[in-house]
């Protein structure tokens, strides 16, 4: 039971440690929207968490895997590794086709490993993990070890890391798309103001682009007045039954922030001030995660405020992206961590109580056995010896033999736990030793046992010899008191 408890405790501690590592990786990966910074963070955070001998990362574009480099730098690998490889080629290419991880203990004996750069670099074991965004593989994480290492034992840990990498890559790509769309939108708005001939067509194109985006988007002028919204914004307004037209065009967004009250209105005035800073050019961009719960569900959004590139007239794009799914994952991770910590604490407390009970039981057992054996040797056996030395008939001798045999059987379980010197002494010597320990003189012992003083001296010498005290100046009574 104790071994099983220890194993469970170690497993729980390992799981808690992995959850903490995943939490740190998720925080680092989502701290930037730059694609280059995200890729660099993937190398740094994953390398620190797994400590492989080789870490490579590929992005998937059409039917090719594009290399983003390796960590740590390996000249043998770098010289042979191509900048890109086809989907289906070698282990990393295969996972794109199969959409599931591939683990190889020995790539030198693995027919699926068709390229030589990893083998020539000294890699023994390898894991290829697909980075999945919905149903598409958008990247591949390759992990190598110079020695035999079974990466499949960390399958859940590695796949959870891959899920966070997928989220970070998707957010970075969305950010690039949003930046491009923002520039495009700004250019289209400027073009609409300058070119009256193409006003209608440009306005339709602009609206079609806005309406194709999943984020709730509004464009406001320098006073905070909403001058345009997209279809997602209007649908959100209708679903939440706002008390104004769903497009909210002509509404002062900044005033709504300033006057917000009631459910999910915390920090609204602060948001309004930050939007004013972007409008005024004090900030280049504003991003914010915030809750926006409804009576039917709990929701979180990612808000981004980006200015138009033209200095005048001053306008900004306000986008709200629903990130409820990501927040739910984070909350589930925290809940799982708390449950594991509580289970660990319970196991620790149970182990402590069990150890105390076992120690007390062992101590009670030893004391009981010692008392039984001591009582038999001092209170029963000496008198049996006296009876045996007296005159008895045949029947009495038979009874005495039976009693002595039965007493030996009763005391035998306790023999393993008594003091070692008791094995060495005869019943008569134990009786003399007990009287010496009580402080009796040789004369007093002789009178009590009805023997001569010379007999007592003989017993004393025999006891000292058996206890290893012969030719030593150690006081016999002091020694007996120390071992009692």
* Cis peptide leading into residue 354 (ω within 30°): no
Alpha carbons 444 and 456: distance in angstroms, whole number:
10
Confidence of residue 419 (pLDDT cuts 50, 70, 90): very low
Cα distance between residue 68 and residue 39, in whole Å: 8
Q: Which of 322, 342, 375 is a domain's end point?
A: 322
Q: Is the pLDDT of residue 415 over 60?
A: no
Please check whether residue 351 lies inside any domain of the structure. no
| Residue the block writes with tokens 């209708």 | 238
Query: Is there a single domain that holds both residue 375 and residue 475?
Result: yes
Count of structural domains within the chain: 3
How many C-beta neighbours within 10 Å does residue 33 have? 19
Residues 379 and 477 in one domain: yes
DSSP state of 135: T
Q: Indicate whether 466 belongs to any domain.
A: yes
Distance (Å) of CA 62 to CA 130, 139, 142: 15, 11, 19
Confidence (pTM): 0.37
10 found inside a domain:
yes
Same domain, 436 and 383: yes
- Give the pLDDT score at 414: 46
Distance CA 256, CA 273 (A): 12
pLDDT digits (tens, 9 = 90+) for 181-195: 878 877 776 776 666
CATH number (domain holding residue 244): 3.30.450.20
- Do residues 305 and 385 both lie within one domain? no
Structure-token pair, residue 216: 């709730």
Residue 188 forms part of a structural domain = no
Could you give the CA distance from residue 155 to residue 173 in angstroms, rounded to a whole number?
27
pLDDT at 412: 57
State the Cα–Cα distance between residues 305 and 288, nearest whole angstrom. 9
How many whole angstroms separate alpha carbon 129 and alpha carbon 164?
13
pLDDT at 344 exceeding the cut of 90: no
CB 162 within 8 A of CB 141: yes
Residue 421 maps to a domain: yes
Query: Which of 322, 345, 380 represents a domain boundary (last residue)?
Result: 322
User: Is 241 inside any structural domain?
Assistant: yes
Q: Is residue 202 part of a domain?
A: no
How high is the mean pLDDT of the chain? Answer: 80
- Residue 273's domain comprises 213-322
**pLDDT digits 0-9 by tens, 34-72:** 767 777 777 777 778 788 888 888 888 888 888 887 777
Residues 7 and 76 in one domain: yes
Instruction: Note the pLDDT of residue 418.
Output: 41
Which has more confidence, 317 or 386? Answer: 317
User: Residue 248 pLDDT more than 50?
Assistant: yes
Which pLDDT score, from 0 to 100, does residue 362 have? 80
CA atoms within 13 A of residue 447's CA, in its CB half-sphere = 5
Stretch 15-21: mean pLDDT: 67
Instruction: From residue 130, give the alpha-carbon distance in Å to each of 104, 111, 166, 171, 459.
Output: 15, 20, 9, 17, 86
Q: For position 416, what pLDDT does the model report?
A: 44
Q: Is the pLDDT of residue 423 over 60?
A: no
Q: Could you tell me where the DSSP H helices lie in 146-220?
A: 155-194, 199-212
Do 131 and 235 lie in a common domain? no
Same domain, 218 and 91: no
139 in a structural domain: yes
* 3-class secondary structure, 218: strand
CATH code, 148: 3.30.450.40
How far apart CA 110 and CA 128 sit, in angstroms, is 13
Q: Residue-wise over 289-308: b if at least 16 C-beta within 10 A, else e? A: ebebeeeeeeebbbbbbbbb
**Could you give the angle at which helices 427-437 and 442-449 cross, rounded to 10 degrees?**
130
| CB neighbours of residue 223 within 10 Å | 12
Angle at 14 between CA 13 and CA 19, to 5 degrees: 95
Looking at the fold, whether 20 and 144 belong to one and the same domain comes out as yes
Question: Cα–Cα distance between 214 and 222 in angstroms, integer?
Answer: 25
Is 281 in the same domain as 391? no
Residue after which a domain boundary falls, among 171, 195, 222:
171
Specify whether 167 is located in the same domain as 230.
no
Residues 134 and 282 in one domain: no
Query: Do 35 and 143 fall into the same domain?
Result: yes
Q: How much is the pLDDT for 102?
A: 92
The percentage of residues in the chain with a pLDDT greater than 70, rounded to a whole number, is 83
In this structure, are residues 60 and 139 in contact, taking their beta carbons and an 8 Å threshold? Answer: yes
């Amino acid at each position: 039971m104790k071994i099983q408890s220890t194993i469970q405790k170690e497993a729980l501690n390992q799981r808690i440690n992995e959850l903490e590592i995943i939490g740190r990786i998720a925080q680092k990966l989502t701290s930037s929207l730059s694609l280059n910074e995200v890729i660099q963070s993937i190398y740094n955070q994953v390398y620190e968490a797994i400590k492989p001998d080789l870490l490579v990362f590929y992005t998937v574009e059409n039917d090719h895997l594009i290399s983003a480099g390796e960590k740590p730098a390996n000249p043998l690998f770098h010289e042979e590794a191509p900048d890109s490889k086809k989907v289906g080629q070698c282990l990393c290419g295969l996972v794109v086709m199969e959409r599931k991880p591939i683990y190889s203990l020995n790539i030198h004996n693995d027919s699926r490993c068709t390229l030589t750069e990893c083998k020539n670099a000294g890699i023994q074991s390898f894991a290829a993990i697909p980075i999945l965004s919905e149903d598409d593989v958008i990247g591949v994480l390759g992990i190598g070890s110079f020695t035999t290492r079974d990466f499949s034992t960390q399958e859940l840990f590695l796949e959870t890391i891959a899920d966070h990498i997928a989220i970070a890559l998707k957010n970075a790509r969305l950010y690039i798309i949003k930046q491009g769309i923002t520039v495009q939108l700004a250019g289209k708005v400027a073009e609409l103001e300058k070119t009256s001939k193409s006003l209608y067509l440009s306005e339709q194109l602009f609206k079609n682009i806005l309406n194709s985006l999943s984020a709730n988007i509004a464009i406001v002028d320098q006073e905070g007045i909403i001058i345009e919204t997209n279809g997602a914004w209007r649908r959100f307004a209708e679903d939440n039954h706002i008390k104004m037209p769903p497009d909210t065009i002509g509404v002062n967004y900044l005033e709504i922030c300033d006057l917000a009250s009631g459910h999910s209105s915390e920090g609204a005035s602060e948001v309004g001030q930050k939007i004013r800073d972007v409008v005024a050019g004090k900030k280049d961009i504003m991003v914010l995660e915030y809750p926006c719960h409804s009576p039917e569900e709990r929701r979180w959004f990612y808000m981004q405020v980006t200015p138009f590139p033209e200095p005048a007239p001053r306008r900004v794009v306000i986008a709200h992206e629903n990130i409820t799914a990501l927040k739910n994952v984070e909350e589930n991770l925290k809940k799982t961590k708390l449950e594991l910590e509580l289970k660990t604490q319970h196991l620790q407390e149970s182990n402590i109580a069990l150890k105390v009970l076992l120690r007390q039981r062992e101590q009670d057992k030893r004391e009981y056995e010692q008392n039984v054996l001591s009582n038999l040797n001092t209170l029963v056996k000496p008198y049996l010896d006296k009876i045996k030395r007296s005159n008895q008939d045949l029947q009495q001798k038979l009874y005495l033999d039976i009693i002595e045999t039965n007493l030996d059987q009763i005391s035998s379980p306790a023999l393993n736990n008594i003091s070692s010197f008791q094995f060495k002494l005869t019943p008569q010597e134990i009786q003399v030793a007990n009287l010496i320990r009580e402080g009796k003189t040789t004369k007093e012992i002789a009178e009590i046992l009805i023997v001569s003083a010379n007999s007592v001296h003989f017993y004393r010498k025999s006891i000292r010899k058996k206890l290893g005290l012969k030719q030593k100046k150690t006081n016999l009574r002091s020694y007996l008191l120390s071992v009692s």
